[in-house]
Amino acid sequence: MRPEIRLALAAAAALAIGVACGEPYARLAAPYYAAVARLLSVGHPWTIVSVEVKPGTKSPSPELQLVGDVRRRTKDLHAAGRIISHVQVGEAVETPVVFWTLVLLWPAISRRQLLLRLAIAIPVFLGLEAITTAIQLMHSMAEVSAILAGEIDPVTFWEHWSRFLEGGGQFVLASGFAILVLSSTKWSTVASSRQLCAAYS
């Protein structure tokens, strides 16, 4: 089968899976997003209260919602404001759909290479989820902090990153990191084959 046709079929199947499994995936991933958000909050006057899939604020469709408290200073005990930020379930599932379609679609020369590829892909994917959906969920906390610090209409680094993700960056990162995984496993397989040949010669 021609690669373009294979990609088209795989993409259609991935989109269908993404639409059908968007909500279950978001529910499954919510604790991970919460853990990442808590990790990123270290050193900031932010407290992550919850990350859950809930009915949308503007529509009945479910969405990922982060509830967080923002304090004026790190040592303050009481929150100066509470934020509720949300990401559409469809947006949250974009990263896994693109990343795993590319990683799994690419033909592997052996079962060993496929396993190695999966072993590298899982931590890369977790990192990718942290810098995409998790940051999309919590970027408004930085904005609230800046407002509390006296800035008027602040555009923080987090906001710039969020705009980058919304403007196509999420797809670029998901596909770029997938290619990175595919390249690294290719090199690893070649390197280990050479070592094996050297050992037997």
Residue 13 touches another protein, criterion: CB under 8 A: no
Measuring CA to CA, how many Å separate 4 from each of 16, 61, 101, 115, 159? 18, 34, 14, 25, 36
105 binds another protein (CB under 8 A): no
Write down the least CB distance from residue 19 to another protein, Å: 5
**90 near another protein, rule: CB under 8 A:** yes
Both tokens of 85, joined, read: 């930020």
Q: Minimal CA–CA distance to 192: which of 112, 108, 107, 106? A: 112
Question: Of the candidates 98, 103, 108, 141, which one interacts with another protein according to CB under 8 A?
Answer: 98
Closest to 41 measured CA to CA, from 147, 148, 153, 130 = 130
Which run of H or E residues covers position 139? helix 135-148
Q: Does 89 bind another protein (CB under 8 A)?
A: yes
Residue 93 binds another protein (CB under 8 A)? yes
Residue ranges in contact with another protein by CB under 8 A: 3-4, 7-8, 11, 15, 18-19, 22, 56, 59, 61, 88-91, 93-94, 97-98, 160, 163-164, 166-169, 171-173, 175-177, 179-180, 182-184, 186
